[in-house]
């Protein structure tokens, strides 16, 4: 009998009557993520999902790695099933966790008896198995409060499962259980983190990127697509929209006051993103803005940007320091890609002295010096879309 994985729910366990819906979304997401590693069977019981391979050649290491990035899972255990008798559990079961015990100094045994017909009660299983382990590994000591290893025995209807791993899952709630949002994805550090944080709360992510060839290169776009594929390990497959933005930027430069370039550009990005959202039935936007980080992210600048928005804009990193954002980007593996030095359309026509306290009325007047409507419609028309899958 090969190993199985026990995925323990986080918040889903508390969802009451809606629990089934969340569970179904979680199972669907897990299926999508691990189907490339083999065929699996899924069983739900007591806020745990039992994932059993149907054949022996499933790549369980990759499965464990992928599952650590699936939102909705609090803990992951890799376990093995044994016959439901104490003899099998205390010999073959302990063989299975021997390596973890050899490398530990302290341990405890935990037992869950779902099958009440099993002749020993949980405290007895713990006591007896603890004795067997101490005899076999004399270097160990029992520590019930803070052990290095917890050997867990779960007596279920079908089998007794034994495990000694208890790995943290990604937490959060399953992607797709909180609607969808459009992430404005640049090649920087902040926006991938913003997308990750929304996905963690169950929001499915589409991404939109603005490029300005020839000022921005093919390589710059490939870098952003790579970021999307790293994010997809957490968010699931991402629908990626790419907007040709060159003409709009050139007309901003030719017609509008220099000190307002960036803010007008951001307003037009929001306008285009919203039009695509409206076509795709996506109700909200997400950006990687953090207050005060740069001139276009002062309170006054954001008031001017938001004035161009008719749908909610979520900014999950708004109150975070760069250091904190970097820490998450390292954790989710986007950092090294984000710092690759490619140009972004934002940096193409940056004004020398951007206004940090723009006045909304002046911004609108500056923007109205050119009628962008035709170019906006053209950019929306020429936007391309394709799906980006997880890179692992
Ligand atoms: P990031 O690290 O995400 O690039 P940033 O600190 O560089 O952010 P800005 O360049 O001012 O900040 O961009 C603010 C936000 O605007 C980004 O987080 C992103 O959501 C969006 N954005 C910027 N440039 C682009 C782009 N070329 N395509 C799509 N969205 C963009
Ligand atoms: Mg940027």
Alpha-carbon distance of 134 to 131, in angstroms, equals 5
**Which residue carries 């899972």 as its tokens?**
73
Q: Which ligand is nearest the CA of 325, by number?
A: 1
Alpha-carbon distance of 388 to 392, in angstroms, equals 12
Alpha-carbon distance of 249 to 275, in angstroms, equals 18
Q: Can the peptide bond before residue 214 be classed as cis, meaning omega within 30 degrees of 0? A: yes
Per-residue pLDDT averaged across 9-35, rounded?
A: 89
Q: How far is the CA of 358 from the centre of ligand 1 (A)?
A: 19
Pocket of ligand 1 (CB under 6 A): 184-186, 188-191, 208-210, 287-289, 293-294, 296-297, 344-346
Q: DSSP secondary structure string, 299-319?
A: HHHHHHHHTT-SS-EE-TTTT
Q: Residue with the nearest Cα to atom 31 of ligand 1?
A: 186
Per-residue pLDDT averaged across 280-286, rounded?
A: 98
Q: What is the value of pTM for the model shown?
A: 0.92
- Ligand 1 test: best mutation among 181, 183, 190, most atoms within 8 Å of CB? 190
Alpha-carbon distance of 79 to 60, in angstroms, equals 11
Q: Residue with the nearest Cα to atom 14 of ligand 1?
A: 289
- Ligand 1 test: best mutation among 188, 196, 262, most atoms within 8 Å of CB? 188
Per-residue confidence (pLDDT) for residue 207, from 0 to 100: 98
Alpha-carbon distance of 36 to 58, in angstroms, equals 9
Q: What is the mean pLDDT of the chain?
A: 94
The tokens of 110 are what? 């935990």
Q: Taking 60 as the threshold, does the pLDDT of residue 1 lie above it? A: no
Q: Which ligand is nearest the CA of 263, by number?
A: 1
From the CA atom positions of the chain, what is the Rg in Å? Answer: 26
User: pLDDT (tens digit, 9 = 90+) per residue, 161-171?
Assistant: 999 988 999 99
> Do strands 48-53 and 40-45 pair parallel, antiparallel, or not at all (unpaired)?
antiparallel
152 exposed, middle or buried (CB, 10 Å; 0-12, 13-18, 19+)?
buried
User: pLDDT (tens digit, 9 = 90+) per residue, 49-73?
Assistant: 999 999 888 899 999 999 999 999 9
């Amino acid at each position: 009998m090969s190993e199985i994985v026990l995925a323990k729910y986080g918040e889903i366990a508390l969802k009451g009557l809606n629990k089934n819906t969340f569970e179904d979304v979680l199972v669907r997401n897990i299926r999508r993520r691990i189907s490339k590693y083999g065929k699996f069977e899924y069983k739900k019981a007591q806020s745990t999902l039992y994932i059993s391979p149907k054949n022996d050649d499933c790549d369980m290491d990759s499965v464990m790695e992928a599952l650590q990035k699936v939102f909705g899972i609090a803990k992951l255990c890799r376990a093995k099933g044994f016959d439901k008798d104490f003899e099998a559990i205390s010999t073959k079961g302990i063989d299975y966790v021997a390596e973890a015990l050899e490398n530990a100094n302290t341990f405890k045994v935990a037992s869950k008896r779902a099958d009440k017909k099993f002749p020993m009660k949980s405290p007895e299983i713990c006591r007896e198995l603890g004795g067997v382990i101490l005899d076999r590994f004399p270097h160990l000591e029992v520590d019930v409060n803070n052990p290095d290893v917890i050997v867990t025995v779960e007596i279920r209807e079908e089998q007794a499962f034994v495990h000694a791993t208890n790995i943290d899952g990604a937490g959060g709630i399953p992607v797709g259980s909180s609607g969808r949002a459009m992430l404005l994805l640049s090649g920087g550090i902040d926006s991938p983190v913003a997308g990750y944080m929304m996905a963690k709360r169950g929001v499915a992510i589409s991404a939109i990127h603005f490029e300005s060839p020839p000022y921005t290169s093919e390589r710059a776009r490939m870098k952003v697509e790579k970021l999307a594929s790293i994010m997809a390990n957490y968010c699931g497959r991402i629908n990626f929209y790419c907007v040709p933005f060159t003409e709009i930027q050139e007309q901003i430069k030719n017609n509008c006051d220099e000190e307002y370039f960036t803010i007008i550009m951001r307003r037009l990005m929001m306008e285009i993103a919203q039009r695509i959202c409206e076509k795709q039935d996506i109700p909200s936007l997400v950006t990687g803005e953090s207050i005060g980080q740069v001139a276009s992210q002062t309170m006054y600048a954001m008031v001017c940007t938001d004035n161009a928005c008719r749908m909610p804009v979520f900014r999950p990193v708004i109150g975070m320091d760069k250091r904190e954002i970097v820490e998450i980007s390292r954790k989710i593996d986007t950092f090294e890609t984000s710092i690759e030095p490619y140009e972004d359309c934002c940096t193409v026509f940056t004004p020398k002295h951007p206004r940090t306290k723009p006045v909304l009325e002046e911004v609108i007047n500056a923007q109205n010096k050119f009628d962008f409507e035709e170019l906006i419609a053209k950019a929306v028309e020429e936007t391309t879309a394709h799906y980006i899958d997880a890179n692992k």
